[in-house]
Amino acid sequence: MSIHRGAMGVLAALSLSATLLAPATASSETDACMAGSGTSHPDSAATGVCCVTQTNYSLASKGVRMPFSGVPTFKNGPGGKMVVARSYSGSVSAQVVAGAEAEVGAVLARATASLSTSLASANSTASTNTYERHISRDKYGNARYVSWGQEVSYRKFRINRDCTRTTLASGRIQYPSDSEGWYYWETGS
């Protein structure tokens, strides 16, 4: 019985050694990563972990108004009231502000998943939206039919084996959304 207990103890010790050895192996692998890349990455050095190589995107966005094509800007004043109606069809599509056209689809797929589900590559509609507006005294009222979209700034990067990041592409793309309506603003002349 005591021999049996002793064997169990040895087995437990071996198991513990194996557990302790695992990070040591990973650590030496990290050293190989570091040597291969010739770079220093504090995270990988501290944790002793190599990264899985993959391509990813980081996104940021801000609201943007995208005018529908074929719908003019209306203006009235000074003062009084303006009534505008959009009863004819119009469309608006994604616009590349900076970067490659080829990224439009990939960035949209990620933007709809993480930023807004209502973003789209294009918005086309023929529904009617009549808008009445009181114009401030001595001001001119302006109105334009827009899609309330998002300008998405993206950075495409590769995570290297040594956990460093290499930027592959970056840019800005404006996407329309399902939301549409009248944008109104006032001017002095």
The least CB distance from residue 111 to another protein, in Å, is 14
The verdict on 6 binding another protein (CB under 8 A) reads no
The single-letter code of the amino acid at 20 is: L
Integer Cα distance of 16 and 21 in angstroms = 9
Q: Give the phi and the psi of residue 178 in degrees, each rounded to 5.
A: -70, -20
List Cβ neighbours of 21 (8 Å cut-off, separation of 6 or more).
Answer: none
The verdict on 185 binding another protein (CB under 8 A) reads yes
Integer Cα distance of 106 and 90 in angstroms = 25
Cβ burial 106-130 (10 Å sphere, 16+ → b, else e): ebbebbbeebbebbbeebebeeeee
**Number of amino acids touching another protein (CB under 8 A):** 20
The partner residues of 69 in beta bridges, in order of sequence, read 91
Q: Which of 89, 109, 134, 166 binds another protein (CB under 8 A)?
A: 134
The least CB distance from residue 149 to another protein, in Å, is 9
Q: Which of 31, 43, 132, 138 binds another protein (CB under 8 A)?
A: 132
Q: Which of 9, 63, 70, 79 binds another protein (CB under 8 A)?
A: 63
Give whichever of 164 and 177 is closer to another protein, judged by the CB atom. Answer: 177
The least CB distance from residue 155 to another protein, in Å, is 23
> Torsion over CA of 102, 144, 124 and 113, rounded to 10 degrees?
50
The verdict on 36 binding another protein (CB under 8 A) reads no
Give whichever of 33 and 71 is closer to another protein, judged by the CB atom. Answer: 71
The least CB distance from residue 38 to another protein, in Å, is 46
Binding interface with another protein (CB under 8 A): 63, 118, 125, 127-134, 148, 178-185
